[in-house]
Amino acid sequence: MAKKIVLILISLVLLCGTGLFIYGHNNLKPLATEEDGKDRPFTVLNGESTYAVLERLEDEQFLPNAFILKLYVRLFQPGVIKVGKYSLNPSLPPLEILSILMEGRQELIKVTIPEGLTGRQIAELLEEEGILKASDFISLLDSPALAKQLGLPETGLEGYLYPDTYYFQKDFPAEKVITHLTGTFFTTMEEVYPYYRELSRVKMKEKIILASIIEKEYRVPDEAPLIASVFYNRLDIGMPLQSCATVIYVITEELDKPHPDRIFERDLKLESPFNTYYNMALPPAPISNPGRTALEASFNPAQSDYLFFVVKDPARGTHHFTNNLTDHNSARRSYIDGFRSK
């Protein structure tokens, strides 16, 4: 009799175990097929418990059964689901969904940083996209410790925040964003000028400063190397660069005023080390973060004897280049006369 009872209990245990296995197996399958499943947003809120998140995943039809995942978490994978914004698909196996949330693989935000922005402007753009707080980013721009860690001049990160299209998580640490931008800068430099490591720190910095000015001066890419040649030729003979872009930098970044529609004679006399009308030398630091075209122009300028350039066609953004003041003034008058006749 006792043996019979034992056999019955064993049979019941086996049946329960088999039933539980089948139940669990069926409820760990994706809720939808790959054809029917679509990516949908899902946000894990601050302070929300793992079990509450799993229940909401079932309610919002991302997985078939929250109970099975609760049991799995309790027995095999204790941990915390990370707060954040995700993109989930019900065609994913429930354990894969759980893994995404526990690893914090959040939905990535696409952001395009245009050429020629300052670090402050990049910070504001990243804040608008919800990637970080602008103040966190700006506070690191002049950090000597971070600059040294990244292999940059200790004067700051301006000029080395490479403009490109990036994908970041929401509320991503500012230091990691900066590391990624500067890393892309060095990757680009390998293609633009593979010998940049052979340059002295001073020479490298000078070329980046010049690239940041070229970035703000050119509109037609083919003219960028010619504009670079003008600036290099001026530096060679001790002539001031007289770049309007540096004056605008003083107005907008140092004086914190709106971008001017035009520059007046009084603006050219603004006392600042960045004003290349007021000073003979290069600015002490870059005035923008240049893209590939400006970098290539600065490191590989055209060979010319040009010392001047002036707008020729404002609609197309082309310039008239000359090697003497007489021709330059003539070209300038032609532009002004043409402008007034319209």
**Cα atoms found within 13 Å of the Cα of residue 309, Cβ hemisphere only:** 28
**Cα atoms found within 13 Å of the Cα of residue 24, Cβ hemisphere only:** 12
**Cα atoms found within 13 Å of the Cα of residue 19, Cβ hemisphere only:** 6
Mean of pLDDT over the chain: 88
Q: Give residue 94's pLDDT.
A: 92
CATH number of the structural domain spanning residue 162: 3.30.1490
Q: Is 5 a member of any domain?
A: no
Q: What are the b/e assignments for 187-225, b being 16+ CB within 10 Å?
A: ebbeebbeebeeeeeeebbbbbbbbbbbbbbbeeeebbb
Q: Is 19 a member of any domain?
A: no
Instruction: Name the one residue in this structure whose structure tokens are 């000359």.
Output: 322
Domain end marker among 127, 158, 192: 192
246-292 residue pLDDT tens = 999 999 999 999 999 989 999 999 999 999 998 988 999 999 999 99
206 lies in the same domain as 293: yes
Q: For residues 154 and 65, which has the higher predicted lDDT (pLDDT)?
A: 65
Q: Give residue 8's pLDDT.
A: 47
118 lies in the same domain as 187: yes
Residues in contact with 9: Cβ distance below 8 Å, sequence separation at least 6, in sequence order: none
* In the chain, % of residues over pLDDT 90: 66
Do 302 and 269 meet the contact criterion of CB atoms below 8 Å apart?
no
Q: Is 3 a member of any domain?
A: no
123 lies in the same domain as 181: yes
Q: How much is the average pLDDT of 223-247?
A: 96
Q: How much is the average pLDDT of 67-75?
A: 89
Q: Total structural domains in the chain?
A: 4
Q: Is 76 a member of any domain?
A: yes
Domain end marker among 73, 103, 133: 103
